[in-house]
Structure 1
Amino acid sequence: MVDRTRIEHDYPATAQTIWELWTTAAGIEKWWAPDGFTVRVDRLDLRPGGELVYTMTATAPEQIEFMRSAGMPLSTESRKTFTEVDGPRRLAYTSLADFIPGVEPYEFLTTVELEPTDTGVRVVMTVDAMHDDVWTQRLIQGRQNELANLAAVVADR
């Protein structure tokens, strides 16, 4: 199993723009959810020790079927606790994985770094592995999809 995975994506935007999309309720709700899901931010306290609490809901038929076949509800509340907030350069948070049937709840770390480039900003996301390779690959695919969704939001601005 991989311990940490690094995912990178370049955006033709300023670090401040990406930071705002990543750290405000309005920004998060535009791109955070993987395809076939929506996100509603319920609480956002952007400081070390503060929490992001949001509800993710499956909305597309394929995702609804996956959630049902996995014995999971269509809407799940998720919690992230910020461990670092250094805008607009670095953000780190733990995610609580308490939604997986048959698996004891646990936390895993995500670190996001915004690095200026000649054409905008590079987002470097580093994520901890989850409890097994299947869920780790789902996490990586989901995060890659989210970063692509963020790119679409940036392109529309």
Structure 2
Amino acid sequence: MNEIIERTVPATPQRIWELWTTPEGISRWWAPDGFRTDVTALDLRPGGALEYTMTAVAPEQVAFMEQNGMPLSTASRKRFTEIEEPTRLAYASIIDFVPGHDEYEQLTEVELHPADDGGTRVVMRVEPLHDEVWTQRLLAGRANELDNLAALVAAE
């Protein structure tokens, strides 16, 4: 069963769409706190790919990664499955970083609904990962992404 994360952000659906579907936009909010995202490829169409590198940049994240023998930068890939500008976006994330597990895909669906206050209600449906621990990590990361998105548009 998919998990649902919702936020209302103070920007129009079109503005949220731009931040979610352009390299410039993604690089401004996609990474969790203490990390930077650099988009290396973006082909916004069903079947197209989003590829990016996430790098630890804050001292505490760098220290955590080094202490746990993890690389400071990791490449990630997603494959777009649905694109309906500016209301719906879905993508399959390539899960290839779990020790002891073969690569698999995880689906995320995003809906952007105009809110009564002029903002946008973002509804994210997140397919669970292979177990509860990894699913909770994923949900925490996605919730942090939406918090970063809301903070970015509030500051604009």
With the length of structure 2 as denominator, give the TM-score of the two structures: 0.94
- Return the alpha-carbon distance in structure 1 between the equivalents of residues 154 and 2 of structure 2: 29
Of 111-120 and 56-65, the range deviating more from structure 2: 56-65
Match of 2:28 among 14, 23, 30: 30
> SS of the counterpart of 1:99?
coil
Of 70-79 and 142-151, the range deviating more from structure 2: 70-79
Partner of 1:77: 75
Match of 1:51 among 44, 49, 57: 49
Of 67-76 and 128-137, the range deviating more from structure 2: 67-76
- Return the alpha-carbon distance in structure 1 between the equivalents of residues 60 and 104 of structure 2: 27
Of 54-63 and 65-74, the range deviating more from structure 2: 65-74
- Return the alpha-carbon distance in structure 2 between the equivalents of residues 10 and 140 of structure 1: 17
Partner of 1:104: 102
- For the aligned residue pairs, the C-alpha RMSD in angstroms reads 1.3
- Return the alpha-carbon distance in structure 1 between the equivalents of residues 70 and 155 of structure 2: 33
- Return the alpha-carbon distance in structure 2 between the equivalents of residues 69 and 105 of structure 1: 25
CA pair 26-96 structure 1, distance change in 2 beyond 3 A = same
Partner of 1:144: 143
Of 106-115 and 52-61, the range deviating more from structure 2: 52-61
Partner of 1:64: 62
> Any gaps of 5 or more consecutive residues in structure 1?
none
Query: 1:127 aligned to 2:126?
Result: yes
- Return the alpha-carbon distance in structure 2 between the equivalents of residues 90 and 43 of structure 1: 20
Deviation, 1:64, is 2.7
Deviation, 1:118, is 0.6
CA pair 139-38 structure 1, distance change in 2 beyond 3 A = same
- Return the alpha-carbon distance in structure 2 between the equivalents of residues 68 and 103 of structure 1: 23
Identity among equivalent pairs (%): 63
Deviation, 1:70, is 4.5
Check whether the contact 1:71–1:101 (CA below 8 A) recurs between aligned residues.
no
Of 69-78 and 106-115, the range deviating more from structure 2: 69-78
- Return the alpha-carbon distance in structure 2 between the equivalents of residues 72 and 123 of structure 1: 32
Partner of 2:39: 41
**How many residues of Structure 1 are paired with residues of Structure 2 in the alignment?**
155
With the length of structure 1 as denominator, give the TM-score of the two structures: 0.93
> SS of the counterpart of 1:131?
coil
Partner of 2:9: 11
Deviation, 1:55, is 0.3
